[in-house]
Amino acid sequence: MSQFTPDPYVPGHGDTRYHVTHYDLSLDYKVATNRLEGTATLTVVPVQELDELSLDLHGLHVSSVSVDGRRPQRSGQRGDCLTVRPVAPLPPDRPVTVVVRYSGKPRPVRGPHGTAGWEELTDGVLVGSQPYGAPSWFPCNDWAADKATYRVAVTVAAAYHVAGNGELVSRRRRGASTTWVYEQREPMAPYLASVQIGPAEVEHRAASVPVEIVHPRGLAVGPGTAFAEQVAMLELYERLFGPYPFSTYRVGITDDPLEIPLEAQGFASFGRNHVVPRWDNERLVAHELSHQWFGNSLTAESWEDIWLHEGFACYSEWLWSEHSGRGTAQQQAAVHWQRLARSPQDLLVGSPGSSDMFDDRVYKRGALTVHAIRALLGDRDFFEMLRTWTTRHRHGVVTTMMFAHHVQAFTREPVAPLLDRWLYTEALSPLPQLEA
């Protein structure tokens, strides 16, 4: 499978020989024993004739597989790969239905950046799969650029709340269990698929789209907390970046503390420690919301271009700071430029390498790259450029090269030298200055 892996930053994940256009997951989960019974129905479209299909799946036992209702010639698991050989080769461009029944005790996928995926909490579950954790709970083509629609049904004990991606289309209680069904109708990368399970209540807030705060019972998340301005943030980003790209925005707050928040599509997870009203928490609330445009609607084709996610999300923090009167983007840029000037300058933001793709310098120098583009274009053209960027590539896949061509259309000045200085030169460039 390695020769077909699309992204060297996550070796052994994903397969370029086919696409998945839809996932239908039916999951029965026992919280007390961490026992998962699942049926995954995938709509698969081969890119070329396939006599064998490989899916990513970690630590879970497959009991049966079918391809268009027929038992395959053979199937087997080796490591984190499920290989299926259908009765006859699969022709290109013709959708087939692959059904996988599986079970076990899901656990996170361990990699060079730590663990990712299905994580047990004190009383419940959190799924944060960036960048390689999706196979911890369902068989998939674990490639960020292979976006699909999803329907996820989760059955749990009735005492638990389930939060997920997209719209909650049904909730049905039968005896001691409840089945929650979510549909994500906009295409989504596998690593952005998520569920959060735990005792919780929901606060609804009025905005251009439904905003939900799912939180532990009795925990205040309104005025005087880091989530007080959630709707105002959404309104600001819609004005600056264009319409919110999904049908809902949902925040899940766990009763456990978390080191960092976790992004998902139309959904973000925080720990109860992130509710405390201080700037470091408020900026993270803004950061995760902005990922709905930069990272979730517009998803980098390769993790090499992660600055297109994290640089824009960090710059969005500075835009919220500017809007809320905590300090202008120029002031924020100056603070972080000074810190970066004291840090090792041995990293290429536009090609950091797998081991450094989550280095904070990628985030902050990425944000300074965005600030440099703003200084080049001026505010009017800069924000028009952003809104056009998010509109043209809505729910799509993007690259740095595509972004460079896009920015060039908004200025007569050559953009390539600026991006080369900020993204492909180790030495830190001088601090960009906005016009007064």
Inside any domain, residue 294:
no
156 and 220 housed in the same domain = no
- On the question of pLDDT at 1 being above 90, the answer is no
Quote the pTM value: 0.96
pLDDT tens for 217-243 read 999 999 999 999 999 999 999 999 999
* Residue 435 confidence class, pLDDT cut points 50, 70, 90: confident
The mean pLDDT of 199-209, rounded to a whole number, is 96
One-letter amino acid of 373:
I
Inside any domain, residue 131:
yes
Given 180, 196, 212, which residue is the final one in a domain?
196
- On the question of pLDDT at 2 being above 60, the answer is no
Given 196, 219, 254, which residue is the final one in a domain?
196
The mean pLDDT of 340-363, rounded to a whole number, is 97
Q: How far is CA 10 from CA 7, 242, 357, in A?
A: 6, 31, 11
pLDDT tens for 137-174 read 999 999 999 999 999 999 999 999 999 999 999 999 99
Mean pLDDT, the chain, integer: 97
Dump the DSSP string for 19-35: EEEEEEEEEEEETTTTE
- On the question of pLDDT at 55 being above 80, the answer is yes
* Residue 4 confidence class, pLDDT cut points 50, 70, 90: confident
pLDDT tens for 73-131 read 999 999 999 999 999 999 999 999 999 999 999 999 999 999 999 999 999 999 999 99
Inside any domain, residue 436:
no
266 and 306 housed in the same domain = no
135 and 70 housed in the same domain = yes
- On the question of pLDDT at 269 being above 80, the answer is yes
What CA dihedral angle connects 213, 132, 18 and 245, to 10 degrees?
30
Inside any domain, residue 435:
no
Inside any domain, residue 431:
no
370 and 261 housed in the same domain = no
- On the question of pLDDT at 58 being above 70, the answer is yes
Geometric angle at alpha carbon 21, from 155 and 401, rounded to 5°: 125
Q: What is the CATH number of the domain that holds 233?
A: 3.30.2010.30
